[in-house]
Amino acid sequence: MSLAAGCGDETVSATTDDTETGDETGPSTEPPAPELGGPAMGISIVGVEANQGTAIALTDGANYLGPDQRNAYLVRDRDTLVRFQHVIEDPTAWIDRDLTGFLHVYPADGGEEIISQRKLFVTADSDPRNLDTNFYFSLLAKDAKPGAEFWLELRESDKAIDVSGLSEGVSAAPAEPEPFGFETTPLELELVIVPVDYQWPDPPRYPDITAEDLQLFHDLLLQQNPVQTINISIRDEPLVWDERITNLGSLLGPTRALKINDGAAANVYYHALVDVGGSGVNMVAGIANLAGPGMNDSDRRVAATVYYKHHDPGDPEMGEDPQTFAPTNSARTWVHEVGHNQGLSHVYCPGADSAGPDPSYPHADGKIGVYGFGIRDFHMYTPTAAHDYMSYCGNAWVSDWTWNKTYDRIQTLTSWNGGAAEPPGETGQILVGMLFADGSEDWWVYDAAVPAQRSGEQSVEFWDHGQLVATEIADVELLSDAQTVVVTVPLVAVEWSDVDVITRVDHHGARRELELGRVQVARDFARRGN
């Protein structure tokens, strides 16, 4: 199963007056529509906003704000909500009535002007938290092109209403057509889901990923990432696992091996989904590497998420049927873990113990800071109630800060146009240890990029018949849970299979001998049928 979709024609449904009607069987009994009047009186446009996931101000009142004055990138070829807020100049003189807002779009190729309109009965100032009080418009992905210009106006819906006693406000913004400022960059995400055939339970468990579930995962990732296209496929061969999973991070080693052995491009993310019969493994629902932006980080773009569907058996005596609920929480975890693979650390929020939060996050208490909007679920997220999805707090959505960081990462990976199975730079065999919080360890040998920098916090010694053959300083990092330690050393000076003892030396000088029989070789892993 695969899903390759981007931004299409489904977008915000705006109320308009230009609905086409079917064939009439008789004379119309409805009165003719009032004649449109001039500029709206007694009311002012106070700001125009484009929202593709995070709010981006296009004007300050009627004053145009160019791309270099904005808080976030505006993505080309992506469905976009355009709206403006209004204020009533003198509430004591105001006349409640219908007004009509217009969005004029002038295509970059000189094509025909696109006009959208929305009529609204106005009784008060608009509320940015409530779309029903806003003049808003849908700009489809096919019209969101670099070089396209826009202009908005607010007019009287009925010329017959006397508004001469009202003051003149700001009824157009900007003063003349200006560019939307869509970036020219193509932006794509490529993901492979690795289903885990978990054979330890009786009966074994396999993630039941339906087309509807896959769409849920796709849409939640699309709405919160600055992309035009997300391609998701499910690996034909699952990851077979016949031991009890006590550390979710233990799935990252084999998932990394599968990505290397598959020859997957450097810009592809591999993501294991496992059904453990609950919402987590020892209270962990997802785990990932914090991967860097280079092609050398290809094999580290792997993550694992618990795939959980809540089943309610219902009460037959009460006439209740069994129900299976969509894996919504798993989809949210998936977005979070992909964020780690994109290099994002956690975001602090009060009351939630987020491991390793990024101190540079700009909005207080992990809030998103600006209005968010879902281009598929059409839900509005407020700046002071929603939290960044990289936090552990609820009501999660993308902030403008996270939007910009992922934009840079996605732009880089997309520019590789598929990348290369073998990353550039020095490659060879590396020995990678995953040190779990419970004291257990997994060790792997990969054919991958040799770490360019090593911290010196730990080292690995190679021994042969009591003689020290080589000592390698390790690259040491934490996984997204801030508990699992990953230790990496190059196997340049020694062939690991030629030694009889390998010892890890931690930063305290304590030594721990590896169980050589448990060191797994990635290239042999695929041949075992996993």
Calculate ∠ Cα 25-27-30, nearest 5°: 115
Position 313 scores a pLDDT of 63
pLDDT at 246: 94
Chain-wide mean pLDDT for the chain?
89
Q: Is the pLDDT of residue 319 over 80?
A: no
The answer on pLDDT for 144 being more than 90 is yes
Rounded average pLDDT over 229-246: 96
Q: Report the C-alpha gap between 134 and 306 in whole angstroms.
A: 40
**Given this model, what pLDDT does residue 427 score?**
80
Tokens 């550039």, residue? 424
What would the pLDDT profile of 65-93 be if each residue is shown by its tens digit?
Answer: 999 999 999 999 999 999 999 999 999 99
One-letter amino acid for residue 413 of the chain:
L
Asked if pLDDT for residue 192 goes beyond 60, the answer is: yes
Inter-axis angle of helices 211-224 and 328-341, to 10 degrees? Answer: 50
The residues that bridge with 117 in the sheet, in sequence order, are: 102
pLDDT band at residue 326 using 50, 70 and 90 as cut-offs: confident
Mean per-residue pLDDT for 340-348? 95
CB atoms within 10 A of CB 502: 22
Is residue 244 scored above 70 in pLDDT? yes
User: Across the strands, what pairs with 48?
Assistant: 84
> How is residue 96 written in tokens?
């409640």
- Vertex 442: Cα angle to 521 and 523 (nearest 5): 15
- pLDDT over 80 (residue 26): no
User: CB-based contacts of 25: which residues, under 8 Å, 6+ apart?
Assistant: none
pTM given for the model: 0.89
CB 54 within 8 Å of CB 400: yes
CB 76 within 8 A of CB 184: yes
| Integer Rg of the chain from CA | 28
User: 399 by DSSP, 3-state: which?
Assistant: coil
Q: Which of 209-218, 346-355, 480-489 has the lowest mean pLDDT?
A: 346-355
pLDDT at 287: 96
| Stretch 341-355: mean pLDDT | 87
Q: In the predicted model, is pLDDT for residue 308 greater than 60?
A: yes
Distances, alpha carbon 200 to alpha carbons 237, 238, 242, in Å: 18, 15, 5
Measured from the Cβ of residue 509, the count of other Cβ atoms closer than 10 Å reads 7
Determine the pLDDT at residue 21.
37
Task: Average the pLDDT over 461-473 and give the result.
Answer: 91
Q: Which tokens hold the place of 111? A: 């094509």
Confidence band of 453 (pLDDT split at 50, 70, 90): confident
The larger pLDDT score, comparing residue 77 to residue 5, is at 77
Contact 347, 386 (CB under 8 A): no
* Burial of 482 per CB tally in 10 Å (0-12, 13-18, 19+): middle
Q: What percent of the chain has pLDDT over 70?
A: 89
Q: Which pLDDT score, from 0 to 100, does residue 420 have? A: 55
C-alpha torsion sign, points 243, 245, 249, 251? positive
Higher pLDDT, 427 or 64: 64
Evaluate if residue 322 carries a pLDDT over 90: no
What pLDDT is attached to residue 107?
A: 96
For the segment 157-163, the average pLDDT, to the nearest whole number, is 96
Amino acid 15: pLDDT = 35
Q: What is the pLDDT of residues 91-140, one digit of tens each?
A: 999 999 999 999 999 999 999 999 999 999 999 999 999 999 999 999 99
pLDDT number for residue 25: 52
State mean pLDDT over 333-353.
93
pLDDT value at 8 more than 80 = no
Could you give the domains of the chain? 8-17+34-179 (2.70.50), 188-414 (3.40.390.10), 427-527 (no CATH)
| Residue 13 pLDDT exceeds 60 | no
Bridge pairing between strands 302-306 and 268-274? parallel
Q: How many CB atoms lie within 10 A of CB 237?
A: 13
Q: How far is CA 371 from the centre of its chain?
A: 16
Name the phi and psi angles at 518, rounded to 5. Answer: -100, 0
Higher pLDDT, 316 or 458: 458
Give tens-digit pLDDT for 405-442: 999 999 999 999 765 555 556 788 999 999 999 999 99
Which uninterrupted H or E stretch holds 231? strand 229-234
